[in-house]
Amino acid sequence: MTHPHAAERATTSKALLAVLDGHRPSRRPIWMMRQAGRYLPEYRELRAQAGSFLNLCYNPELATEVTLQPLKRFDLDAAILFADILLVPQALGASLTFAEGEGPVLSTVTSDRDVAALSLDGVVERLSPIYETVRRVAAAKPSHATLIGFCGAPWTVASYMIEGRGSSRQNARLAAIAGEPWFARLIDILVEASVGYLVAQLKAGAEAVQIFDSWAGDLPAHEFRRWSLEPIRKIIEGIRAEIPGARVIGFPRAAGTNVADFAASAGANAVGVDSSMSVEAIRRDVIPYCAVQGNLDPLQLLAGGERLDRAVDELVTGLNPARHIVNLGHGILPQTPIDNVIRFIERVRQHDGA
Ligand code: CP3
| 160 counts as catalytic | yes
| Cα(37) to centroid(ligand 1), Å | 8
Could you tell me which of 221, 157, 219 has the C-alpha nearest to residue 188? Answer: 157
User: Alpha helices of the chain — where are they, by DSSP H?
Assistant: 6-9, 15-20, 41-50, 53-57, 60-73, 87-92, 112-116, 123-126, 128-140, 154-163, 170-178, 181-204, 221-224, 230-242, 259-265, 279-285, 298-303, 305-318, 338-351
Task: Compute the residue count for the chain.
Answer: 354
Residue whose CA is closest, atom 5 of ligand 1?
82
Question: Is 38 in the active site?
Answer: yes
Ligand 1 close to Cβ of residue 155 (< 6 A):
no
Q: How far is the CA of 313 from the centre of ligand 1 (A)?
A: 28
Predicted local confidence at residue 199, as pLDDT: 98
Euclidean distance between CA atoms 16 and 30, whole angstroms: 8
Residue 70 Cβ inside 6 Å of ligand 1? The answer reads no
Of 288, 247, 236, 244, nearest in space to 21 by CA: 247
Q: What is the chain's pLDDT, residue by residue, as a tens digit (354 residues)?
A: 334 444 344 457 899 999 999 999 999 999 999 999 999 999 999 999 999 999 999 999 999 999 999 999 999 999 999 999 999 999 999 999 998 878 999 999 999 999 999 999 999 999 999 999 999 999 999 999 999 999 999 999 999 999 999 888 999 999 999 999 999 999 999 999 999 999 999 999 999 999 999 999 999 999 999 999 999 999 999 999 999 999 999 999 999 999 999 999 999 999 999 999 999 999 999 999 999 999 999 999 999 999 999 999 999 999 999 999 999 999 999 999 999 999 999 999 999 976
Active site residue 185: no
Which residues have CB under 8 Å from 256's CB, separation 6+?
Answer: 217, 276
Helical pair 305-318 and 338-351, crossing angle rounded to 10 deg: 40
pLDDT of residue 101: 79
89 Cβ closer than 6 Å to some ligand 1 atom:
no
Question: What pLDDT score does 6 carry?
Answer: 41
- The answer to whether the beta carbons of residues 245 and 185 sit under 8 Å apart is no
At 63 the pLDDT is 98
- Which entry of 9, 38, 73, 226 is annotated as an active-site residue? 38
pLDDT of residue 11: 59
Distance of CA 173 from the midpoint of ligand 1 (Å): 22
List Cα–Cα distances, 321 to 19, 22, 31, 46, 49, in angstroms.
8, 10, 15, 36, 41
* Separation between Cα atoms, residue 266 and residue 228, nearest integer Å: 10
Handedness of CA 143, 238, 82, 293 (dihedral sign): negative
Cis previous bond, 327, omega within 30: no
Q: Which of 34, 71, 214 should be mutated for ligand 1, with most atoms under 8 A from CB?
A: 34
Give me the helices (H) in 110-180, please: 112-116, 123-126, 128-140, 154-163, 170-178
CA 114 – CA 99 distance, rounded (Å): 23
Res 13: pLDDT? 87
- Other CB atoms within 10 A of residue 179 CB: 11
Query: Is the CB–ligand 1 distance for residue 150 below 6 Å?
Result: yes
Given this model, what pLDDT does residue 204 score? 98
Per-residue CA distances from 242 to 4, 122, 191, 239 (Å): 11, 18, 15, 5
Instruction: Look at residue 232 and give its three-state secondary structure.
Output: helix
Rounded Cα distance, 40 and 243, in Å:
35
The finding on whether 93 has its CB within 6 A of some atom of ligand 1 is: no
Pocket test for ligand 1, best of 38, 52, 85 (most atoms within 8 A of CB): 85
Among 237, 171, 196, 214, smallest CA distance to 85 is for 214
Cβ of 68 closer than 6 Å to ligand 1, yes or no, is: no
Residue 80 CA: nearest ligand 1 atom is 4
